[in-house]
Amino acid sequence: MKKVYVKHHPLYAGKWIYEGFYSAWQSLGYDAQYYTNLSEIEDEDFYLMAIDPDLDSQAIEVFKRSRKTFLFVRPTHFARHWGRHPNFVFDKPKKLISEISVLQNVVKWTFCETDQTEYFSEWGVVETVPLAFDNINYKKQTNKKFEYDVCFVGGWADNGFDEKRRIITSWMRPFINSKLKCGFFVNRGVSHEFESLLISNSKVAINLHDAYQQELGLDTNERTFKSLGMNGLLVSDNVYQIEKYFSSSIVTNSPEEMLNKVISYVRMDDDERQKIKQKNISFVCKNHTYVNRVKQFLEHSI
């Protein structure tokens, strides 16, 4: 059985993203294992999912021993004030980039649309691999106790500038007096099961992005995929990547328009709403799961 090492990412969104990849590798018959430090890896024949904070001279040697390394990279520079925060910039010596570039078994990738930006240019060829729906750990379930008109699960996700709090507060304000039954859970630390039940049984799901995503539009969050994968109806703030991959989804530039779009879905005939849901759920489960992403890695047709 081929072995693959996946970076253990215990916090925030990275926890769910890399858990999704881990489960996908396992479902395809690989011996998936988490690693914390690359020094733990002593094998000579393995696949590796690494991220750029791992990079040092030792990392290069581990990469060389791998069958193939899929290295997640961040931009070498970034727009506006976000470039001052470590979440948004590569802060290792630039010579490491040149050392990695000559390794033929290393595939560099990111969530962002790299053809739309120069932020990754110093890395050379960087593949775009968007996030996905974790259909292994998230299952669609039926439960009348979770039948809300509209749902949202998320957190402030402070990136150092506390922008997400203001975004969520302003976009949810119009819903307060809307008389809709809103299942909004922000910073509540809800379980996978609770979130699955909420998204599965609500009539509509909404999505909100970080400020840099709203402005640049280069990537979308995991909520996009699990909302469409379990609920099937999504109204989101407008980012380019959603429009690129989900042309039939409803995107908007204003909180008031988001509310109106949600109301139109809630008032829609049940059969008509279910037809739209099933079409979108089928599309995501066929094309945008973490299993799809792993297959793309293995075929290197990304």
> pLDDT tens digits, residue range 47-99?
999 999 999 989 999 999 999 999 999 999 888 899 888 888 888 888 999 99
pLDDT digits (tens, 9 = 90+) for 215-228: 999 999 999 999 99
Q: How many C-beta neighbours within 10 Å does residue 148 have?
A: 20
Beta-sheet strand order (sheet of 3-7): 31-35, 3-7, 47-51, 68-72, 106-110, 127-128
Q: Check for a shared fold between 3-129 and 144-287.
A: yes
Residue 230: pLDDT band with limits 50, 70, 90: very high
pLDDT digits (tens, 9 = 90+) for 120-167: 999 999 999 999 999 999 999 999 999 999 999 999 888 788 899 999
Q: How many C-beta neighbours within 10 Å does residue 171 have?
A: 20
Q: Which of 35-44, 105-114, 199-208, 242-251 has the lowest mean pLDDT?
A: 242-251
**Cβ atoms of 32 and 51 closer than 8 Å:** no
Core vs surface per residue 236-250: b (16+ CB within 10 A) or e: bbbbbbbeebbeebb
Which residue in the block uniquely carries the two structure tokens 């749902």?
Answer: 151
Asked if residue 187 has pLDDT above 50, the reply is yes
Q: Where are the domains of the chain?
A: 3-129, 144-287
Asked if residue 279 has pLDDT above 80, the reply is yes
User: What is the model's pLDDT at position 109?
Assistant: 96
Q: Which CATH class is domain 144-287?
A: alpha beta
Q: Which residues contact 180 (CB under 8 A, 6 or more apart)?
A: 149, 150, 262, 263, 266
Asked if residue 13 has pLDDT above 90, the reply is no
Q: Which CATH class is domain 3-129?
A: alpha beta
Q: Does the pTM exceed 0.85? A: yes
User: What is the model's pLDDT at position 301?
Assistant: 45
Residue 302: pLDDT band with limits 50, 70, 90: very low
Residue 10: pLDDT band with limits 50, 70, 90: confident
Q: Which residues contact 98 (CB under 8 A, 6 or more apart)?
A: none
